[in-house]
Amino acid sequence: MSHSSSPHHADGAHRHKEAPRFHRQTTPGASPGTIVPPPDSPKPVLQVIAYSADRIVEKEIDGLGELRELRREFPIVWLNVDGFGDPALLQQIADMFHLHPLAMEDVVHVHQRSKVEDYDDLLFVVVRMVALCDGVLETEQLSLFLGKDFIVTFQERPGGDSLEPVRERLRRNHGRIRRSGPDYLLYALVDAVIDGYFPVVEAFGDRLDELDAEIGERKSPSLMTHIHDTRTNLLQLRRAAWPHREALQHLQRDSHTLISDETRVYLRDCYDHVIQIIDVLETYREMCADLRDLYLTSVGNRTNEIMRVLTIMSTIFIPLSFIASVYGMNFNTGVSRFNMPELNWVFGYPFALTLMGGTALSLLIYFFRKGWLR
């Protein structure tokens, strides 16, 4: 997942983002636990970090033989798998770590909600990572398996993720991460994913401030599209963040032999971060609705201003048109002395112009005193 700090495109390069589509790979009636990855999934890249309090080995491996040796040598092993393009290799990994088939089926079906499932001797946890890529919100499923001496994580595709701070802490032996068990590593990974939401949420907060300023400066029709896209992204972000509440509640409250009481304290802090994110997202969604109403109100007010000017102009010219039409009838004065006597009057034309000007001036004064011109 590549990251970007800007949550929007320039006006000229703006494009509408389609909603993600749900598509299940397994056919109806397939055997439970069948591993059927997406057809475009890349080949798996295996990265392993094996460590103890005083040693650490980090490397990319080609097969599981090296992994077996590292498991015998180190007390804790973290295997990260990027990509699902080799079902046979995924099955070998599942057999080595005794991962439940139903959990492996959920791993490759990447539309899972954040959740926690207990399989006696291991925990299966699903969280969702988020990032902004060229202004487009992207989410990616991260599946984690916690055992008594290992962590196995599965990601949809190779590339950047939210876990690099955890890798850096392991390399530098910073804090208590290498002196603690795999349950603390699980907490650190989940916490890194949750912390990855904050810059994305802040970027959308900045975008809302920009939209608020743009509404006051200009009334471009593209503003409504930007507001709608921002609200759609916030809705997608909320949909990704909300299930983390239940998952973290499950981790910190239920009795799991794999999670110590000390780690539950840290999980409670992670839960508080999720609550903060959800509260901010709710506020931003309301701000989107307010910005939409503000934009529509400002457009309506501008339309009313235009209609007021046009109405005043029409009101002024209606009596002038009436006067001009009366003087344009041209009845023959030779037939009757009552037929347009002004036609033969030397001051008839100046009188007509003066009458029109006086009428227009009287209407303007009247409109001004009514406050319609202010």
C-alpha dihedral (46, 51, 56, 60), degrees to nearest 10:
0
How far from 296 is each of 123, 215, 286, 302, CA to CA, in Å?
50, 10, 15, 10
233 and 137 Cβ atoms separated by less than 8 Å: yes
Spatial contact of 131 and 200, defined as CB atoms under 8 Å apart: yes
pLDDT at site 26: 60
* C-alpha dist (Å) from residue 372 to 224, 271, 317: 30, 57, 17
pLDDT of amino acid 30: 58
pTM: 0.76
Measuring CA to CA, which residue among 283, 279, 136, 289 is closest to residue 211? 289
Mean pLDDT by 10 residues, the chain (374 residues): 47 41 57 75 93 94 90 95 92 94 91 91 94 86 95 88 92 91 95 95 92 77 84 92 93 84 92 95 90 81 80 85 81 77 80 87 85 74
Spans of all domains in the chain = 22-298, 328-370
User: What's the CA gap between 73 and 146, in Å, rounded?
Assistant: 19
How far apart are the C-alpha atoms of 252 and 125, rounded to whole Å? Answer: 13
d(Cα 302, Cα 26) in Å, to the nearest integer? 55
Give me the CATH topology for the region 22-298. Beta Polymerase; domain 2 (3.30.460)
pLDDT of residue 97: 95
Rounded alpha-carbon distances, angstroms, from residue 171 to 52, 182, 292: 11, 16, 48
* pLDDT for res 10: 38
**Beta-bridge partners for 82:** 45, 155
Contact 312, 371 (CB under 8 A): no
Q: What is the pLDDT of residue 13?
A: 36
Distances in Å between the Cα of 159 and the Cα atoms of 80, 197, 311 are 12, 18, 62
Tokens of 132: 């902004």
